[in-house]
Structure 1
Amino acid sequence: MRTERWQQVIERIKTIPEHPVLTSCLVLFGLAIVVFGLSYSYYVEDYYNFVGQVLAEAHGMLFDIAVIGILIYWLNENGQKRMRIRMYLDEIEDFRLWESEEAAFRTAGNIKRLNRHGKCKLDLVNCHLARTNLSHILLKESNLNSANITHSNLIQCNLENARMNQTDFQGSNLNQANLSRSYASGAIFSNTFLIKANFKGSFLIKANFENALLTEANLQGSVLMGANLKNANLLKADLRGVEGLTVEQLLEAKTLQNALLDEHLHQQVAEQSPELLTT
């Protein structure tokens, strides 16, 4: 009978390490007995001096906990943040070139998470982002060359100084988007909403703006050599100082009403097709 009880006690003792809180409490209790036992004589013979030293050590311990605790917390948070960023970037890389709805939405989600972690300069070359919502996203200085971003929402998206050569934005909404100083040679903006979009100082060589809505768009100082403006709505658009822009390109537009043009271009359009400036 006693043997069985001892065996039960031994089995319970063996299970103690499986419970971290209980193990910690037992260790603390055991050490407290040892420390208080060894310090008993000091409590009796030199109580006030001993307590003063204990309090001094306690203050030092609190300072150590505060400093080390904050440092460990900062290092832990920073490490986790870097791991999450690395995971999101790896997922974008995994979905690159995969033309599917799942790939598009997973990539868009990772872009938003990276933005929340303060990362906006991304490598999105050949990424499939069709029919996604990227409104208000920050992609400043990102590389989107040859990406598929058709029929998507990029309202007030920041693409300043981004690379978008051969990128397909067909049918997308880029109203009030910031594309200033971007590189979008050969990009497709056909049937795209670009109301109040900012293309100031951008390279738009051979870009396709067919049927695009460029109302009040800012194209000042951009390069439009060989760009397709067929049936583009350029109502109140700013086209001053545009390089490579010819009257032949402008004559293919749907309207130039109230558009801001260089004097020589305005004069040529007025002579050859004055209705473009009034309707």
Structure 2
Amino acid sequence: MEFPKSYIKTLSIVSIIFGVVLVVVTSIFFDYDEDFWGNITVELHGALFDILIFGLLLYWLLSRNETARNDENARKKIESYLNKKNLSNLNKSDLVSQIKIAAGDAQVLTNIHFNHDLSHLSFQGLVFVECDFDSLCDLSNTDLSGAVFKSCRFLGALWPSSGPMPIMESCIFRECDLSQCSTSEDQASAFEHASFFKCNFTPELYNMLDNYDSIKEK
């Protein structure tokens, strides 16, 4: 069972306040001798020691749970990456055919690792879910108008700096990772008419997109 940190903090504050109030009230309304207060001091030291031990144990348990969650998330990401469909051995003609088959009538591409030339192709209105676009992928003059990217990763430069930019009119990026996307200021203008919701960026790309008012949900 996981205890919320706010709950632990509240419990600690309440315990301290209760202890202070108890000491103040008893000292005002009851006449105790020195032996009593000496015993109280001993008990308080014991209680503080118990609280310290309990606090350290609780902190260790919470830290262990947090580490376990991080390890599990990392494992899932690695498994997701390893299980992605790799189409890199296909030529462009076969690639287009396979993409159409994979997208189906729903026009959704899921869990595909793109690492090849997609230049001058059209993906209008397609939905990409948990796909990877690595530095070998070339999106020069690729038509992505109306396309939607959900939980996708973009790694490295997605098209040559000297090449034509992809068309991203009304393109939507939702919860995507662009923190490893290498993009110059000129290239970033390709995203001017796109919309980003809860995505990760490099600081440079974030500033450029923020200037275009493309980041809709931060």
Shorter-chain TM band = 0.3 to 0.5
Instruction: Work out which structure has the larger RCO, using CA pairs closer than 8 Å and 6 or more positions apart in sequence.
Output: 2
Higher-Rg member (1/2): 1
